[in-house]
Structure 1
Amino acid sequence: MVKVREDHPLLHDGSLDVERWLDSIQQSQDVKDPERLHEALLLAKQLSDEAIANRTYWSIDSAQMGIEMANVLLDLRLDTDSIVAAILYRAVREGRLALQKVERQFGETVATLIEGVLRMAAISAIQNSSGDSVLGQREAQVDNLRKMLVAMIDDVRVALIKLAERTSAIRAVKDAPEDKRRKVADEVFSIYAPLAHRLGIGHLKWELEDLSFRYLQPEAYKQIASLLDEKRMARQQYIEQAVHRLRDEMLAAGIKCDVYGRAKHIYSIWRKMSRKNLDFSQIYDIRAVRILVPTMRDCYAALGIVHSLWRHIPHEFDDYIANPKENGYRSLHTAVIDTEGKILEVQIRTHDMHEDAELGVCAHWLYKGTDTSAKDQGYEQKIAWLRQVLEWHEELDDLPELAGEFRSDINPDRIYVFTPDGHVVDLPPKATPVDFAYRVHTEVGNKCRGAKVNGRIVPLTYLLNTGEQVEILTSANAHPSRDWLYPDSGYLHTTRARAKVTHWFKRQARDQNIEEGRQLVMRELDRLDLADEALQPVAEKMNMKSTDDMYAAVGAGDLRLGQIVHQVLQQVDQRQPAPMDQQELPLLRRAAAPKRTDDSANDVFIEGVGNLLTQMASCCSPVPGDDICGYITKGRGVVVHRSDCDNVLHLGAHEPERILQVSWGDEPQHRYPVDMKISAYDRTGLLRDVSALLANERINVLSVNTQTNRNDNTALMSLTVEVDSLEHFARLMNKIDQLPNVIAARRIRGGV
């Protein structure tokens, strides 16, 4: 049986007196809607009595367990929905009460909270599973972990109810068999004490650690406990004297304060002894007091008083007000030594800081009223809470490999966006609305035709950011586009979404895949002026029996266009090369690289000019990072000066035509000129937009020619540009294709 607290009113048979318990908490707590609590208590007690009578759950009185959980949550100041969920949780977990009935009788919020707590059992299952059993259900376990995380992020109360349940469980195993005690203690110590710490709930963290330590290392626990008991009376007397002295000095200084002795927790003493290899007598904070003051200024004034009364110990002062801990804990810690050589630890904090230290996240997520939906809470609060959950995951170093994989999948570098209902979806960086759609549901992705971010229509290539709310627009007639699979299109960035789109196309007819694959391949090769190349050898190199098989693989998304283009280029390379003075590379003609003369000049790149000698000016001695320019000399090439050099300013005033733009950095050693053609419907600003795009992409334009056909209002632009590689050129053409009014962009040979 669960041992209820001694101050709980009991009936003659030892069970809880529901009416008196409810009256007692109403007197000490501001309980809203006590009628719902009463209804939940009666239902839980009825189901528990039936189970005990049928001996189905003989070792647990689930009604009393619910009361224990409710007491923990009342101390944390949670709302009525949370208390009701705690009271009914055990009955739902044991299968004696359906969630549907909970929802009908007590509301959707209570049912959702219970469901979230049930999902949190996933991490406990992994902690207690052997490797084989976990590996056999890897996908299901990862899915459960993800559901658990999302449930916790959606509502902090889920984690708090689970903490209350595990606190009640470890309190209840005092008289259980040893293996049961160790199993519960190991789980609590590994998972839930770190969670309480991460949430800043100090009093729960200490209790969970001490009880776990008691069952996991009973001999060490008894040793520390006996050492504390031996000198308890003398220590208590010493602390009382210190408290009186501090209180008098603080009042004399005009500072209102509360001063009291602080109990030292057994596990923290043992941990400090083990970590620092210290003897019990060397632990500074066995004797400890805490000072609570109204303001932060009073904290530092109180610190001055403490240090004026006793000599402080060097290196034993911590200012967690100026530098709070990761979980938000703030306080001043100091250790002092009196005239008798006794050491005293003093903690100083404001009342608000103390509330934060004891209640942590509960001090900021107080649920008031009845409407607590996620969408009514600020995004900033939700993101802050989410970060705490993720950091807790990082502390779970004892979990098996699977949990480690899950932690790496939800690292803080990911982005977190919200559905229209306020639920959190985690995605990798650079995720798009299409990635989001497939993350929500496969059919949502397949039917996606548009997206809104924060209520505004955005392109499907839009890169999502943490904290944004995303809504997917769907249509019954919509379906995935093959362009989504093209890497340079920017529609997909997650493996999951790409796999879903690929699977959709695999279900389509082979003939359709062949035809659409052929169109994609030929369009890409035509754009690169490689359409005349034989493709059967390329298909054979890719282990395909025929070009149709290759086209089908492209159409189904199993084969990427880049792989085919790469093989085609290798095929061209293997031909007999032409004489060097006539040779054109398979991709492009190689432009001359800038010539370097001395070591220092190797870091300088002269834009638009090759085959020029360069040297550094001795008058100003520019170094990488300086703003620089070049001056064309007579016979000595280009001399590089700092831009603010007096000499070059003087020369520029008289001979501006001999000043060149130069820059630092490792520019590509080889650039390739390529001729391309852009056809578009003519409009004002077309040439400006193309030029701006080329400038943004750092493309050097060697020549440009524009012709306009007034009959059909089209424009034909012929350009020669310098690029680094085929991939570079392909990306450039894709971006040009996306400009308004552009019909097509393709490569041409020899300016044809």
Structure 2
Amino acid sequence: MQHPLDQHPAALCADLLAQTGENPLLHAACEQASAVWDGDPTRPRGARAALLLCEMKADPDTLLAATLGDPRLRASFDEGLMAKTYGHRIARMVAELHRLNTFEETQAALGNPQQAENIRRLLLSMVSDVRVILIKLAYRLERLRALPLVDNAALRQSVARETLDIFAPLAHRLGLGQLKWELEDLAFRHLEPETYKRIASLLDEKRAEREDYMRKVREQLDRALNFEGIRAKVYGRPKHLYSIFEKMRRKKLSFEQLFDVRALRVQVDNINDCYAALSVVHTLWQAIHSEYDDYIAHPKPNGYQSLHTAVHALEGKTLEVQIRTAAMHDQAELGVAAHWRYKEGSKARGDRFEDDLERLRLALEEGEGGALHARSIYVFTPKGHVIELPQGATPLDLAYSLHTELGHQCKGAKVNARLVPLNTPLKNTDRVELLRASQGTPNREWADAKSGYLVSKGARDKVRAWFKQRERESAREEGHAHWDKTVRRLGLSREQRELLLHKLKFKSETTAWEALGEGQLSHAAFLDAARATLAQAIPPSDEQTLPRRIATAAIPRSLSLEGLQAEPARCCNPMPGDAIVGFITRGQGLRLHRTDCHNLTNLRRTQADRLINVEWPYLQGMAVRAELLILGEDRAEFLSDISHVLSMFKARVNAIDSTRDKRTEQVRMRLKLELPSLDNLQPLIDKLLALNGLDEVRRV
């Protein structure tokens, strides 16, 4: 029964007391609420909310808290004083109700399903007794009933949207079906007034008429089942306007395509009775065969089981019938296939929150209170977004939950506009602003759980990963430097470096650098492998013969370089006496390559017609220049022994460059020489190699 919105509070209280019997505390509460009546029917009233809850058979404590929670009493509210009169439990419930009624941090969540879910969880976490949520929902329904009296269209839209996104799903979660459908229908009426009117006209009947129709078909089916000896519970109510609209939108159906505008559920004892009841339904009314689904033989992926059918029932109107056992019903309502998950279009998170919610739902059915187990807290960002964090979380936990880099660079935080240390535990509804340093880095102490900076193990793992990555990068840089130094000292070619990687069993130079830097590959082992690679001959190219075809027929197959413009190629730096090939450039004469030059293979493949066999002119007695690389152990006689050999072959030194590796105690020397004849070069190299302590002597 709905009372007139402008009905005097004295009349409301009289009706409330008449329905509840003599209750001195409720009588006193009614007097308090009546004394502050301001004549504004658009503001919810405690007595009206209590009457609504009385119709739902709420317990006396709930009715008392609802009456005392009148917003007009909030200004004079004193929890301690109220506790003396009504008891601590009632005072606490009223205090929490006032907090919920003044909570306005929902706008950022509207239209965002995840944020709306976080807001619902936050509201539940703000109360110590779930009955406070029940009272809040009653107050919200009273506010919706009074919305037509509000002139501000934007306010009406905002209240309606908040109801659909936050409060109606919350009522559904708690099993408060009657509250849910009226909240949805009233909000729908203000959000989509034209659509609301169109669907209402399509139904072509008033709600009372629809409910009367449902009563008739339920009684008819109940009699038929009893006649067949099938024990069953038949129940149902017509679809409401908003649920019809949602199904049309979700499934993209026209109104004529809906078969479940009116629906019954039949609950039986066993599976055999399910099919027996189905037979009764199809005998009693004309079946719509295209709408039959057997989810018992073929359950849905989430485990849902039931028989679904649609029929033309009384007066030819369509009726959906669902048939299931009690176990199937429990699975659908309380298990993974819970109806609210299907209705809200969301998936369960797989956490213990749903178990808590079911416990609260059952507590409400028994008229009892209860609270969520405090496993999470909910805080606000400066933009009003709600973030779920573990109990005891700090501003640093929040930073890492938003973005890893924000966590690494977090240098401070403001909680409710006050600067706090980063290890300050946060509380429900705190508004947290994080301060960020553009070049900030994490602190090793953060990764220690005992330090109190981070409660979340995932966040601590991110800190450890950051330091591990930096250590890996540092090791890679150190290994890279040592690799390059050794490769340059030994003069390893690209092919030799690849051979070295294969010998060391590394896939890339980067992994080899990391192994060197981290000590997995010792410097001594690396040097030994590099020297062994240097000593190993590189397999000759598959192409050893020069192409016979050349671009210009006037150029003979073999030329002497005497009198020709020719320069040695920088890639291999050939010397007189080396086996060479000429490459005809455009306007710059010949470029001379040694026949073992690594670039020659590519030239043979791509520009073979510009290669030509050439030979040096007569070289007898001609002075030649050469550059040698000498590697050997650092010892006192190193330079004097080399000088002695050079003098034996009358070699003149034009330039010398020498370096010493302190770690390996090896000398690397480059000599630029001039020899009287090319014939002296190889004997000179052989003589140097014979010296004690020299590891390598080769031309550059």
The two structures have a TM-score, normalised by structure 1, of 0.46
Q: Computing the radius of gyration over CA atoms, which structure comes out larger, 1 or 2?
A: 2
* TM-score normalised per structure 2: 0.48
